[in-house]
Amino acid sequence: MSLVEKALEKMRGQAARPMRLAASEAVYGQVALTGATRAAHGTPERIVVIDQDALRAAGLLPPAKQARQIAEEYRQIKRPLIANALGRGATKLQNAHVIMMASAMPAEGKTFTSINLAFSMASEKDVTVLLVDADVAKPHISRLLGLDKERGLLDALQDPTLDVESLVLPTDVPGLSVLPAGKWSENATELLASQRMQQIVAGISRFDANRIALFDSPPLLLTTESRALSQVVGQIVMVVCANKSPQKVVLDAISQLGEHRCVSLVLNQSVANPTSNYYYYGYGYGQAREGAGNA
């Protein structure tokens, strides 16, 4: 039995924790203009104000009574990812500072995981976080933050003269910035698979050597965009919903990523005693590591 099969076998029997993750059309952030300018690009600095109470009400942040427990779980999830990103892992990975947040199918809790992992990583003293909305067909994060009309990733991919850093928006969460999805294009897959995309990924660390980029991606088994994106990232986090994601579906999704990739599984919406062991599964270059899986 492979490592993933063992990991998925452990997931069986876990009851799903109720948490509403459905999309909402409400806007949970706004862009505030300031008089400051970004010296490197000469554009007005725009601060995205994130309404965390509204995100919590929508089920995209944990309820107050669970916040401490889930925050601790995300601390365990992020540690190996950050270690890889900063070159402290056992295996040196190319583009390890660029992490793709993936799922096999919709409604697995990928956006919930992306947002909470971004918040947790942003609290680190040695890194900054760029949350990229790369779910270009259904840019949920951009809509949540009121950025669906802003230029973003797809605009930078279509216009080589456009500096992607001029599209990155700082937020009122220290250490966290956002890159919207941008204007939809019918050839989004080709854009994500282009040399221009490789240039953008390379430029992420050049602008800030301590930056970790989290790319929220479309479901692997429903789109070709996610498979194109997987080729330019260094780490992939696969979100698996407890008692919902069939083993075969998850394995089929992982098979789309190719061999020798750094793929980690995060078990979402599981129910377990807080005193029991939780597991974070690293797959693709090593072995399972103890960590959090109830995220």
Q: What are the domain boundaries of the chain?
A: 3-290
- The listed range with the strongest mean pLDDT (69-73, 118-122, 224-228) is 118-122
List Cβ neighbours of 20 (8 Å cut-off, separation of 6 or more): 58, 59
Is it the case that residue 211 has pLDDT exceeding 70? Answer: yes
Instruction: Of 121, 175, 111, give the one whose Cα is nearest residue 145.
Output: 111
Q: Is-contact 291 77, C-beta < 8 A?
A: yes
Is it the case that residue 34 has pLDDT exceeding 90? Answer: no
Amino acid 272: pLDDT: 57
Q: What topology is assigned to 3-290 in CATH?
A: Rossmann fold (3.40.50)
pLDDT-derived band at 45 (thresholds 50, 70, 90) equals low
Is it the case that residue 286 has pLDDT exceeding 90? Answer: no
Lowest mean pLDDT among 20-24, 163-167, 281-285: 20-24
Lowest mean pLDDT among 28-42, 163-177, 197-211: 28-42
Lowest mean pLDDT among 143-147, 170-174, 288-292: 288-292
pLDDT-derived band at 72 (thresholds 50, 70, 90) equals very high
- Of residues 35 and 201, more confidence is placed in 201
In degrees and rounded to multiples of 5, residue 35 shows phi and psi of -85, -5
Lowest mean pLDDT among 29-38, 54-63, 127-136: 29-38
Is it the case that residue 142 has pLDDT exceeding 60? Answer: yes
Amino acid 26: pLDDT: 39
Q: What is the mean pLDDT of the chain?
A: 80
Does the predicted model carry a pTM greater than 0.85? no
List Cβ neighbours of 176 (8 Å cut-off, separation of 6 or more): 118, 119, 122, 128, 129, 131, 170
DSSP SS3 for 278: coil
Q: Is-contact 114 99, C-beta < 8 A?
A: no
Is it the case that residue 43 has pLDDT exceeding 50? Answer: no
pLDDT-derived band at 259 (thresholds 50, 70, 90) equals confident
pLDDT-derived band at 29 (thresholds 50, 70, 90) equals low
> How many C-beta neighbours within 10 Å does residue 272 have?
16
Lowest mean pLDDT among 41-50, 118-127, 191-200: 41-50
| Portion of the chain with pLDDT greater than 90, in percent | 53
**CA 22 vs CA 66, 172, 214: distances in Å:** 19, 25, 21
Is it the case that residue 41 has pLDDT exceeding 80? Answer: no
Burial of 110 (0-12, 13-18, 19+ CB in 10 A): buried
Is it the case that residue 147 has pLDDT exceeding 90? Answer: yes
Amino acid 87: pLDDT: 85
pLDDT-derived band at 58 (thresholds 50, 70, 90) equals confident
